[in-house]
Amino acid sequence: MSSYIFQRLLLLIPTFIGVTLIGFLVMRLAPGDPAELRAAGGLRGAGEGALSRGKVSAVDEALMQWRAQYGLDRPLHVQYGIWLKNLFTLNFGESFKDNQPVWNKIIERVPVTTKLNIFSILLVYVVAIPLGIYSATHANSLGDRVTTLAAFILFAVPLIWAATMAIVFICGGDFLYLFPPAGLESLDYSRQWSFWQKFKDQTWHLFLPVVLLSYDGFAGLSRYMRSSMLEVLRQDYVQVARAKGLNEGIVIFKHVLRNSLIPQVTLLASLLPALLGGSVIIETIFSIPGLGQLGYESVLARDYPTVMALFSVSAILTLVGILISDLLLAVVDPRIAFGRRQQ
């Protein structure tokens, strides 16, 4: 087992380099230059015709200096090498936007996004697993048909639509005011509040973003759960368990459930990146100061260091998600690790 883990960890390195290299190249090879963008608002904005030739060359010089300061004038492979080297010391450089260290900006926002995503993952599994069990044990009943259809329809609801409808109809506006339209805490939130007050305020603010982030997850997962459970239910050992007179509850929850949970574990890996993508949309719509919003703002501002840092953070999260689900899979299903050893 430990050699399997070691092997997997070793394989993470080339994958990570591949991912960040793609991100790096995409960003640098795209037309447009952060130095120009930075100057566009100020000096260049005055219009080149209005400036005398001397001043234009002064602007160019300033741009050159600025590029040199951030190492943008060097060849691409050198830039990438430097970036990678700095990464090992957790130095993501400084933001082009406000010269703050990128690391601090990210650390500031990690708790918010983590909170959102952990609750979402919990909600996904808490809703999907029981729903899947119900559907599979009552296969083809009316209840199963209704939940399967509902899950299917829910899965097709676009996140941007669900979120906009929520904002328009139940977040103030002209209709109902059930949930707050923005932020993670009330404006008058204070530390002096009692625990209960804080808890209520946070829950009220988190509820909608968490539900929106997770609905397609539990819709999808419940269908996977149903089909994997049905597959297990058809196997001989379930017949045997029933034939020897075990009561149905034990058959389902002790014998069937365990084996049908195996595939669900692996879905965690695909759930993580999907949640991160969803965070961009949800955090932008609900003005939640998390990583998704930071990413969106940095992309628009061509803030290379911040974008690269976020890119690597989410790549690492995704890789770790895949690793964890593979390891869990190897734990619950020993055949997988054995198969590897034989190679």
| Least Å from the CB of residue 50 to another protein | 25
How many angstroms separate the CA atoms of 205 and 179, rounded? 7
Residue with Cβ nearer another protein (84 or 230): 230
Beta partners for residue 171, in sequence order: 177
How many angstroms separate the CA atoms of 315 and 329, rounded? 21
Verify binding: residue 32, another protein, rule CB under 8 A.
yes
Verify binding: residue 270, another protein, rule CB under 8 A.
yes
DSSP symbol at 255: I
Size of the site for another protein (CB under 8 A): 73
Beta partners for residue 120, in sequence order: none
How many angstroms separate the CA atoms of 151 and 312, rounded? 33
The secondary structure of 313-333 as a DSSP string is HHHHHHHHHHHHHHHHHHHH-
Residue with Cβ nearer another protein (127 or 307): 307
Residue with Cβ nearer another protein (22 or 64): 22
Residues in 203-242 at the binding interface with another protein, rule: CB under 8 A: 224, 227-228, 230-231
Residues in 7-26 at the binding interface with another protein, rule: CB under 8 A: 7-8, 11, 14-16, 18-19, 22-23, 26
Local structure of 94: helix, strand or coil: strand
| Least Å from the CB of residue 51 to another protein | 25
Binding mask 158-197 for another protein (x = CB under 8 A): xxxx-xxx-xxx-xxxxx-----x----------------
Residues in 103-162 at the binding interface with another protein, rule: CB under 8 A: 140, 152-153, 155-161
Residues in 45-104 at the binding interface with another protein, rule: CB under 8 A: none
Residues in 277-306 at the binding interface with another protein, rule: CB under 8 A: 277, 280-281, 284-285, 295-296, 299-300, 302
* 238 neighbors 255 (Cβ within 8 angstroms): yes
Verify binding: residue 38, another protein, rule CB under 8 A.
no
How many angstroms separate the CA atoms of 35 and 17, rounded? 27
**H or E element at residue 225:** helix 195-233
* 226 neighbors 141 (Cβ within 8 angstroms): no
| Least Å from the CB of residue 343 to another protein | 7
